[in-house]
Structure 1
Amino acid sequence: MAQNVLLTGGTGFIGKHVTDVLIEAGYSLSVLSRSERENTPRVTYYKWDINKNYIDKNAVLNADYIIHLAGEGIVDKRWTKKRKKELIDSRVRPIEMIHSILEKNNKKLEAFISASGVGIYGAVTSHKICTENTPPANDFLGITCQKWEEAADQIAALDIRTVKVRTGIVLGKDEGFIKKMTPSFKSGFGAIVGTGKQYLPWIHIEDLCQIYLKGIEDPKLEGPYNACITDNTTNSRFSKTFAKLFGYSIWLPKVPPFVLRILLGEMSEVILTGQRVSSEKIQKTGFEFHCTDLEKTLINCIK
């Protein structure tokens, strides 16, 4: 019988790709969903509602592995006080609910793999290269990711191997970041944002899915791993490369930081800042990134 992997956030951009990769690798999948969905031969859907603190415990008890991807989009809405709470709760509360079921039923998983973000290093721009040993920042992104990972540590405390995948900007065909950027660049109105010197650590969705698969299949993986390319891409380089693929050079002036701060408030720091991030730790486990050339990766995402 195929081992079962339970996914939170399995119906989102990353979740759908992870599902396909795991099915191809021979696993059966369970996916938590807020709405009724029809089961397929390889995917079983279970109901959950974090606002009501409800999760079908059978989803957890039938799982050999759990991958936690759920979380409200960081840049989907302006960061009001209420929105900040939603962003943290949507990441932390599912883990707490899962922890409760595991603990009450003395259930042991083979592994728990949780998403996290390179935002743990803070919304700042510097030439310092952040590794998994870099202390968390004290700004909102840093605190959010720290609480996210501390919740995952509760699972580790149950003597369950726990992996935390600190993800950068995820690039995929007509999805996520690319979907947001394409309309303006395709129309010829792409622009560099702020100074353009802020780093933009990125990873292609195919490589990210393989990291999650490795998190399941490699028993040596434990703790945090940065999931992004170490090529020091900046906003300026990314913007110029993206515009080139649509047949023009950036001609608009840089978007001043104050404009974004007026439009987006505190959330503008996600766009105006960015750190250099090392992927050395995951590579030392034998993992190889297949999408390492920015231009080729972007071509793959829009063609």
Structure 2
Amino acid sequence: MTQNVLLTGGTGFIGKHLTDVLIEAGYSVSVLSRSDRENTPRVTYYKWDLNKDYIDENAVLNADYIIHLAGEGIVEKRWTKKRKKVLAESRVKPVELIHSVLKRHDKKLNAFISASGIGIYGAVTSHKICTEETPPADDFLGMTCQVWENAADTIESLGIRTVKIRTGIVLGKDEGFMKKVAPSFKAGFGAVLGTGKQYLPWIYIEDLCQIYCKAVTDDQLHGPYNAAITDNTTNSRFSKILASLYGYTIWLPKAPSFILKIVLGEMSEAILTGQRVSSEKIQKTGFEFQCTDLEKALINCLK
């Protein structure tokens, strides 16, 4: 019998790619959506509304696995007090709704897999290499990721294998991070941000999807895993390679940190800082990254 994987955030950048990968691997896919959508031969849609604390319970009851990707974009808007609340609640509320259904019906999943972020290690730049054992930071990014993961732990408390994927910058064609940075570079106005020394741990979209698939298929996986290439890429290196692929050398001066702080407010921390992370734990499970060269990854994004 075909096993079903339910996705939250299934209509987003990562969710759309992951849907294709899961279907190719032989799973059926269901997606929770805020809007009414017609089912397709490939995907079954279920309705939910976080503002009304509503979820179609059949989505959860019919699932063998749940992958939680939903959450408002961290760098979409300034971090006002209201926005910070939205960023946290958009990640935690879905888990609360799912938890309530699982507990009420004593439903046992094969696994619950939640997105998280390397932001859990904090908005700082240092030479320290962060592993899954590194304590969460007490700044906004660190605390947001921590409450995100704490929510996932409530599913684990029900006796369900739970995996947390701490994701770096995801690179993919015309979407996600590239959708934000590529236009200015393509126009010839690429620039290094701040000092440029901040690390930029990245992962190609296909590798990320394969990590999620491994979390589904390998019942030995549990707890947190860093999902990022360990190659010490900095914002400066990333910017110079991207500019070169568009046929020029960066000519603009570095975008001053103080200007970005004025324009973006506290959110500038997510852009002006970055730590190194280790991917050793996920690799020890037998997972092999297929795209480890930044230039090749960016070429794939620009095709």
TM-score interval, normalised by the smaller of the two chains: over 0.9
Give identity over the alignment, percent: 80
**TM norm structure 2:** 0.99
Cα distance in 2 for residues equivalent to 1:61 and 1:204: 32
Cα distance in 1 for residues equivalent to 2:30 and 2:242: 37
Q: Residue 64 of structure 2 corresponds to which residue in structure 1?
A: 64
- List structure 1 segments (4+ residues) > 6 angstroms apart after TM superposition: none
Alignment of structure 1 residues 28-43 onto 2, 5 Å: 28-43=28-43
Cα distance in 2 for residues equivalent to 1:3 and 1:183: 40
Question: Shift of the alpha carbon at 1:43?
Answer: 1.0
- CA root-mean-square deviation: 0.5
Letter matched to residue 130 of structure 2: C
Q: Residue 302 of structure 2 corresponds to which residue in structure 1?
A: 302
1:10 aligns with 2:15: no
Q: Residue 248 of structure 1 corresponds to which residue in structure 2?
A: 248
Q: Residue 126 of structure 2 corresponds to which residue in structure 1?
A: 126
Alignment of structure 1 residues 34-113 onto 2, 5 Å: 34-113=34-113
Q: Residue 231 of structure 1 corresponds to which residue in structure 2?
A: 231
Cα distance in 2 for residues equivalent to 1:271 and 1:40: 38
Question: Shift of the alpha carbon at 1:42?
Answer: 2.6
Q: Which runs of 5+ in 1 are unaligned?
A: none
Corresponding residue pairs, total: 303
Q: Deviations over 1:264-285 (max 9, x none)?
A: 0000000000000000000000
Letter matched to residue 206 of structure 1: E
Cα distance in 1 for residues equivalent to 2:13 and 2:5: 17
Q: Residue 27 of structure 2 corresponds to which residue in structure 1?
A: 27
Question: Shift of the alpha carbon at 1:71?
Answer: 0.2
Q: Residue 169 of structure 2 corresponds to which residue in structure 1?
A: 169
Letter matched to residue 261 of structure 1: K
Letter matched to residue 293 of structure 1: D
Cα distance in 1 for residues equivalent to 2:71 and 2:92: 9
Cα distance in 2 for residues equivalent to 1:185 and 1:293: 20
Cα distance in 2 for residues equivalent to 1:94 and 1:113: 13
Alignment of structure 1 residues 175-254 onto 2, 5 Å: 175-254=175-254
SS at match of 1:126: coil
SS at match of 1:127: coil
Q: Which runs of 5+ in 2 are unaligned?
A: none
**TM norm structure 1:** 0.99
Q: Deviations over 1:109-149 (max 9, x none)?
A: 00000000000000000000000000000000000000000
